[in-house]
Structure 1
Amino acid sequence: MTTDASRSGRARFTGVEIVGAAIISLAAIGLVVSVVIYTSGAEAAFFGLLGAFFLGITGFGVLVAGREARRRRDERAAVARGAIERESPQRPTRRPGL
């Protein structure tokens, strides 16, 4: 049985998280290139700035979604092993007379 502490390198990250980080990296590079081009006087590079910004936001969303999926998957596995108990959602109680 491996724990999170004993995993090394990329094994800690899921494929979706790696893709999200790669998208963010590409967006950062694109943003820097677009800034350099835009400051040199090319007005059309503004669209590159917008595109890189939106690509970065998309990459961040993919990264967060991957982490949330991993957290839920790990929680389900822990419940299946019996390591933790699943919290049952409590129904709201009705007050008499309402």
Structure 2
Amino acid sequence: MNRDMLYDETEETKTRYVGFIGEHKRYDLALTQTDRFYGKTLVIDIQSGRSAIIGPDDLEEEGYLAHAFNLTEDEAVELHRFLSEIIF
């Protein structure tokens, strides 16, 4: 089979699993640190399977978390508060 490979790399990463209950929902996240995304964190919502590559600049973009993780505005505020503590 012919395929045009764009990349095929293996890298050591650091992953933190976090679960917490906010005022509006439960959050189960996997936060992966890697050199691949220019210092940004790969955030995966384990419950929904949604993911986003997030850095400090993304946290400041209005509506980004709500859109990326299909959250209400209140849920996005909760997630923003948490991620702001660990992503810098």
More helix by share: 1
Q: Which one has more relative contact order, counting CA pairs under 8 Å at least 6 apart?
A: 1
Q: TM-score, normalised by structure 2?
A: 0.24
Q: TM-score, normalised by structure 1?
A: 0.23
